[in-house]
Amino acid sequence: MEKINVSVVGASGYVGGELLRLLLKHPKVSLKQATSETYKGQFIKIIHPNLRQFGIKFAALDQLENCDVLFLCLPHGMSMNQINELKAMAKIVIDLSGDFRLNIPELYEKWYGFNHANPSLLDKKVLGLPELYKENIKKANLIACTGCMSTTAILGLYPLIQAGVVKEDQPIIIEAKTGSSASGNKLSKASLHAQRSGVMRSFKPTSHRHTAEIIQELTIDGKKPQVHFSATAVEAVRGILATSHVFLKQGVTEADIWQIYREFVKDKPFLRIVKEQKGNYKYPEPKILIGTNVCEIGFEKDPHSNRLVVMSALDNLMKGAAGQAIQCLNINQGWEEDLGLETVGLYPI
């Protein structure tokens, strides 16, 4: 079987490690290089011990060679400054940072605190959210994967906005709980065990940068929603649970909501509606999604008002990052969408 050559730039972080794990076992991919400026020349097992059976060393960025597909796992603000040189080294570039997610250059100053270095590329990229942009991803040569918390919220809310059942004059309230791996593997006082253990910490009650992506993708037919987003850190390593509150138009029934979600998840292998009558897992649960590329979506209609509570959950390193990038690769190359992503969640864990 002929394989394509792929490389990962910035492979020493949690997302980079997860991407390596998936690529090294992908049946149609040959991993050519994995770069890290900090650990160049050292075996990847030093940073990613789960990959110790693979005798691969990190390369330096200036040692990067041409390949078919290049994955970028760099910190925010770096990809946009090097994108022209990196694009010259691969036919397809899949960026997992936030550098090309937004469509409007001015939003980077507002939400990220910097001016975009390559604004002309923002309207040439395709957003790496397969459930919304599958056909575009098939033809793309620059794919910008969405953020983990924004992916979780968008997948839960988009079908409702698209169906026009949410009141436009009412706010959308979203609160996302996330595990520690979402903040990366850079050392900080906030990540110390004494600080993180047992925590339920509101770390970004307002102005989280993923708000911009959520507003962007929920703006349909020019109607910009009133999105209010908060982020909370919890004692978990992986996983995101987004709880969203929307207000339905008069006359919308629970049967209508069921029909909207059933239609949305149809033919989408990584979306699952979860709304059980029995058991401990009646609604979406990040814990049982660890290691999978699945996003679970559930809902509950308030019997006392027109409020609908939407719950969506995923593994932030998989469907929220590396798994989503592999899903985009599969679509772009014309392969089966779930190739290399067939992992079933563990239980109990």
Q: Is there a single domain that holds both residue 117 and residue 159?
A: no
Q: Catalytic one among 67, 145, 148, 295? A: 148
Structure confidence by residue, pLDDT tens digits, 225-248: 999 999 999 999 999 999 999 999
Q: What is the mean pLDDT of the chain?
A: 96
Domain count, the chain: 2
Instruction: Please tell me whether residues 83 and 183 are part of one structural domain.
Output: no
Report how far residue 96's alpha carbon sits from residue 251's, in angstroms, rounded to the nearest whole number: 41
Examine the domain organization and report whether 115 and 223 are in the same domain: no
The mean pLDDT value for 302-321 works out to 98
Q: Could you say which of 77, 107, 124 is where a domain stops?
A: 124
Domain check: are 116 and 68 in the same one? yes
Q: Is the dihedral of CA 172, 101, 184, 5 positive or negative?
A: positive
Residues 58 and 173 in one domain: no
pLDDT of residue 349: 86
Say if residue 174 is in the same domain as residue 266. Answer: yes
For residue 273, count CB atoms less than 10 angstroms from its CB and return exposed for 0-12, middle for 13-18, buried for 19 or more: middle
173 and 309 belong to one structural domain: yes
Does 338 have pLDDT greater than 90?
A: yes
Instruction: Give residue 61's domain range.
Output: 4-124
Residue-level pLDDT at 194: 85
Instruction: Indicate if the pLDDT at residue 186 is higher than 80.
Output: no
Q: Per-residue pLDDT averaged across 148-169, rounded?
A: 98
DSSP letters for 334-346: T--TTTT--PPPP
Q: How far apart are CA 119 and CA 102, in angstroms?
A: 10
Please give the pLDDT value at position 57. Answer: 98
**Angle, CA 313 vertex, CA 310 and CA 319 arms, to 5°:** 130
Task: Dihedral sign for Cα 99, 101, 103, 107, please.
Answer: negative
How many residues does the structure list for the chain? Answer: 349
* pLDDT value at 184 more than 90: no
Token couple for 37 = 């400026």
Helix 210-218 × helix 148-163 angle, to 10°: 20
Q: What is the pLDDT of residues 280-301, one digit of tens each?
A: 999 999 999 999 999 999 999 9
User: Looking at residues 154-163, what average pLDDT do you find?
Assistant: 98
In a domain, 22, yes or no: yes
Contact present, 140 and 194 (Cβ < 8 Å): no
17 in the same domain as 159: no
Name the phi and psi angles at 247, rounded to 5. Answer: -120, 120
The predicted structure's pLDDT at residue 192: 80
What's the CATH code of the domain at 110?
Answer: 3.40.50.720
- Three-state secondary structure of 226-255: CEEEEEEEECCCCCEEEEEEEEECCCCCHH
Name the pLDDT band for 1 (thresholds 50, 70, 90): low
In a domain, 65, yes or no: yes
pTM above 0.95, yes or no: yes
For the stretch 190-218, pLDDT in tens is 778 888 889 899 999 999 999 999 999 99
67 is catalytic: no
339 lies in some domain: no
